[in-house]
């Protein structure tokens, strides 16, 4: 990975240096993301010697998160379902409640929640570990011993983050659909055909494609952005905290971009 050129000493104003740092940081992120994508798509990254590390990271990313995520997703879904169903009934618009629930919960809220959950519980703590390894020079040591730190240390975490988002999003969507059905129709099966039809009407080909792209974009965002190297990472606890906040802001910004793009695609 080529480091970006150092800011010129002749830069006259502090705001100019800040803008330079900001641009350099995004450029570095793009470069790192491209590298990770190439590695993700390379068959050599999935050799049998890599599997142990990939399995370990995948399990770390999903296994411990599953119970907490299932509980939180169920509670949040139930609250939103109850609010929407009760509101729709009070306005005598209950026939539109299913449509609203599937659109708001499954298409918009749950992917966002899953992305934030994985970012906060797995990739950002993992990024802290990676930053520590970088600071200790262990990644350089790996270079020197002939190992590829991008493939051996970073790629499994990225892959685990992507798969964790996919698994949790699928699980959350299933839970939300199930809870919606149970709330609207109760413990019966007579409404299954009408419910399936309503869900099918929401998921037309365009919406499904946009949903898949959004999930992929969010998963790559939360998996890659926190692991990106920060060339100008500052020393000291306070500065490190500020770096973490900046990292979180970058993740949020990209998640927001994904949401906005998907909304534009779905509703304009």
Partner 1 sequence: MSQTPPPDSPPPVAHLETKARLLLLLMVLLVAGAVGYLMYARGAFERTQELVLIADDSEGIVVGMDMTFSGFPIGRVGRIELSPEGNARIIIDVSRRDAHWLRTSSVFTMENGLVGSTRIRAFSGVLTDPPLPDGAERRVLRGDAAAEIPRMVASVRELVSNLSVLTGPEAPLNASLQSLQTAAERLNGPRGALGVLLGNEADIRKITLAVDRTNALLARLDGLVIKADSIAARTDGLVANADAQMFGASGVVPETRATVVQLNGLLADARNSLKKVDAVLVEAQAIGANTREATNDLGALRADVDASLRKVEQLVNEINRKWPFKRDTEIRLP
Write out the residues near partner 1 by the rule CB under 8 A.
49, 51-52, 54-56, 58-60, 62-63, 93, 95-96, 129, 132-133, 138, 146-147, 152, 163, 166-167, 170-171, 173-174, 194, 196-197, 199-201, 203-204, 208
User: To the nearest whole angstrom, how small is the minimum distance from the Cβ of residue 118 to partner 1?
Assistant: 13
Instruction: Find the farthest-apart pair of alpha carbons in the chain and give their distance in angstroms, rounded.
Output: 74
What is the nearest approach in angstroms of partner 1 to the Cβ of residue 144?
13
Residue 196: how many CB atoms within 10 A of its CB? 12
Write down the least CB distance from residue 41 to partner 1, Å.
18
* Nearest residue (CB) to partner 1, 39 versus 248: 39
Closer to partner 1 by CB, 11 or 52: give it. Answer: 52
Nearer to partner 1, 2 or 145 (CB): 145
Q: How far apart are CA 163 and CA 170, in angstroms?
A: 11
Quick one: 24 or 215, whose CB is closer to partner 1? Answer: 215
Q: Is 221 exposed, middle or buried (0-12, 13-18, 19+ CB in 10 A)?
A: buried
Shortest Cβ 125–partner 1 spacing (Å):
11
What is 129-176 written as a DSSP string? HHHHHHHHTHHHHHHHTT--HIIIIIHHHHHHHHHHHHHHHHHHHHHH
Q: How far apart are CA 110 and CA 112, in angstroms?
A: 5
């Amino acid at each position: 990975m080529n480091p970006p050129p150092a800011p010129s000493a002749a830069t006259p104003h502090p705001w100019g240096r800040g803008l330079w740092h900001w641009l350099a940081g995004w450029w570095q992120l793009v470069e790192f993301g491209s590298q990770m994508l190439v590695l993700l798509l390379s068959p050599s990254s999935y050799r049998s010697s890599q599997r142990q590390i990939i399995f370990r990271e995948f399990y770390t990313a999903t296994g411990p998160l599953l119970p907490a995520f299932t509980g939180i997703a169920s509670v949040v879904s139930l609250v939103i379902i109850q609010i929407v169903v009760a509101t729709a009934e009070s306005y005598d618009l209950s026939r539109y409640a299913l449509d609203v629930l599937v659109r708001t919960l499954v298409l918009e809220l749950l992917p966002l929640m899953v992305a934030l959950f994985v970012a906060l519980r797995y990739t950002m703590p993992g990024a802290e570990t990676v930053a520590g390894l970088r600071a200790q020079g262990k990644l350089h040591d790996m270079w020197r011993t002939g190992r590829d730190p991008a493939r051996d240390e970073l790629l499994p975490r990225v892959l685990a983050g992507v798969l964790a988002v996919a698994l949790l999003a699928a699980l959350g969507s299933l839970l939300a659909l199930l809870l919606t059905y149970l709330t609207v129709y109760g413990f019966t099966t007579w409404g299954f055909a009408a419910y399936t039809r309503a869900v099918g009407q929401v998921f037309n080909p365009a919406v499904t494609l946009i949903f898949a792209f959004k999930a992929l974009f969010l998963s790559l965002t939360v998996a890659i952005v926190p692991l990106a190297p920060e060339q100008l990472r500052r020393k000291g606890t306070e500065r490190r905290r500020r770096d973490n906040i900046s990292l979180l802001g970058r993740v949020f910004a990209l998640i927001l971009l994904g949401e906005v793009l998907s909304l534009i695609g779905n509703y304009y």
